[in-house]
Amino acid sequence: MAQVMDPTAGPAARLDPPTPCRVLLLEDSGMDADLVREHLLMIDDHAFDIHRVDTRQDFIDAIAGGGPFDLILSDFDLPDFDGMSALAIARDRLPRVPFIFVSGMLGEENAIEALKKGATDYVVKLRMERLQVVVRRALVEARDRNELADKRTALAESEARLRFALEAGRLGSWELTLATNRLRVSSICAANLGLSDPSEIPTYDRLLERVHPEDREHQKAMVRQAVTSGSPLDMEYRTIWPDGSVHWVQVRGRAVYDKDGMATGLAGVSLNITERKKAEERQLLLLEELNHRVKNTLAMVQSIAKQTLRATPSVEAFPDAFQSRLRALAQAHDLLTRRHWQGASLSEIAALTLEPHVDAGRVRVGGPPVNLTTGVAVSLHLAFHELATNAAKYGALSAENGRVDLNWEIAQLGQMPTREGAGPIVSGQFARSGAGALVLRWQESGGPPVVPPTRRGFGSRLIERGLAHELEGDVALAFDPAGVRCRLVIPLSSRVSPQ
């Protein structure tokens, strides 16, 4: 009794549907074409869709646009076309499609020549029963070849994507074979060590020669740990390039094991992190500089508060005087911040302090371009602020016709100005520098008669003592009845330099 299959049974009970197979048949004989069709239908695990052509042009058109085909069957001899020409066209256009001759022509020579030209098989029509076996085998082999080719293509594409990702990330790849100490590196990995040819580091020992002597033991210890413990390898170390320069490399990887769990090698990537290390060093220096700058600023604020309190005639007057000086300090910091704390020019500092009076035509400023470092810029700004504030309250800027001239020049060692009642300023730091000096002159005129103060206030002490100490220069402050005069002589150095 025939077994009735339950349609609700599981997948194992169902028959797999036949595999669709599209066939291009080149055959001029209708009878032979029907014979081929009958034998193909006997292959029960495939469903054949046969597209028959009988001329050269129809064959070419079918190859060009009628596919895709899974199998090509061709007669060997046709009225206007021969099978070998059809084979050449098929191999050029569809190299992965099996091509089987089904020919009425006998002779091993024809079969051998066809196989040499790329045919999959050769079936004689007198032995048509072979067609089923030949077709089945050809389709299986083609499927296996196509799957293998697809896998190779996918692998090649995957490797190409990996190479692109590594190159985009500037990552070099490397592999170490433990048994032979053999090291294989990519071009980028070699470049991370300053080398143009990967063959220059064929072994692990040659790699160690490139590692900074102080980092070699650490490098070897990390590799041993990764091999013995199976932990990821992640380390940074210095390398010495052929030109003697020192660079940083970051290396990551893992151990490779065989089926018995024995470590056979290491594989991973490397990255040149020299720029990152330099940036970290710069950041650390900036943090240290910021810490130093904050301490100096706090000390300056403390000093301003103490000196202002001491010089202020009453407690009520202290807030205005103190806040005015803090604003001056903040203005200097704002300017230096905009310049990324790379210093400022003397003209910028003068303009920052005296801008309101310059715009009103009350102050004339001029001199050659001079660069100042941050500390010098802040000190001069505070000094100019004190001079301008005193002039606005009591001096030339308090009168309608008062004027202030601020100018500077670069004086060589033999052109130094003289102290009143003494010779040229050539001693100490000026003689040591030998590079000359910056000479600044503040001159007030047109204001009320100046009366020398009975005691030195904060501004006078800042200029006469603070500037002389901070700038290692010579300061002369004179309360002349015609107007306050101030001369600063600052030795040229890396802190004060002409442009």
pLDDT digits (tens, 9 = 90+) for 335-392: 666 666 677 888 888 887 777 666 667 788 889 999 988 788 888 887 887 888 788 7
Name residues whose C-beta falls within 8 Å of residue 102's C-beta, 6 or more positions apart in sequence. 27, 32, 36, 73, 74, 75, 123, 125, 128, 131
257/389 same-domain check: no
Q: Does residue 284 form part of some domain?
A: no
> Where a domain ends, among 230, 253, 272?
272
pLDDT digits (tens, 9 = 90+) for 5-20: 444 444 444 456 888 8
Average pLDDT, the chain: 80
Range of the domain at 175: 169-272
Q: Does residue 282 form part of some domain?
A: no
256/115 same-domain check: no
Label residue 83 by pLDDT band (50, 70, 90): confident
Q: Does residue 293 form part of some domain?
A: no
The rounded distance, in Å, linking the Cα atoms of 328 and 371 is: 20
Q: Does residue 433 form part of some domain?
A: yes
Residue 212 belongs to a domain with what CATH number?
Answer: 3.30.450.20
pLDDT digits (tens, 9 = 90+) for 440-496: 999 999 989 988 877 666 567 767 776 777 777 888 888 899 999 999 888 888 888
Residue 57 belongs to a domain with what CATH number?
Answer: 3.40.50.2300
pTM above 0.75, yes or no: no
φ and ψ at 461, to 5 degrees?
-65, -40
144/175 same-domain check: no
333/472 same-domain check: yes
pLDDT digits (tens, 9 = 90+) for 407-451: 999 988 666 665 554 444 544 455 455 678 899 999 999 989 988
Q: Does residue 318 form part of some domain?
A: no
84/35 same-domain check: yes
Residue 473 belongs to a domain with what CATH number?
Answer: 3.30.565.10
Q: Does residue 48 form part of some domain?
A: yes
97/134 same-domain check: yes
236/96 same-domain check: no
331/464 same-domain check: yes
428/488 same-domain check: yes
352/386 same-domain check: yes
109/191 same-domain check: no
476/426 same-domain check: yes
> Where a domain ends, among 244, 272, 300?
272
Q: Does residue 296 form part of some domain?
A: no
Q: Does residue 306 form part of some domain?
A: no
Q: Look at the chain and report how many structural domains it folds into.
A: 3
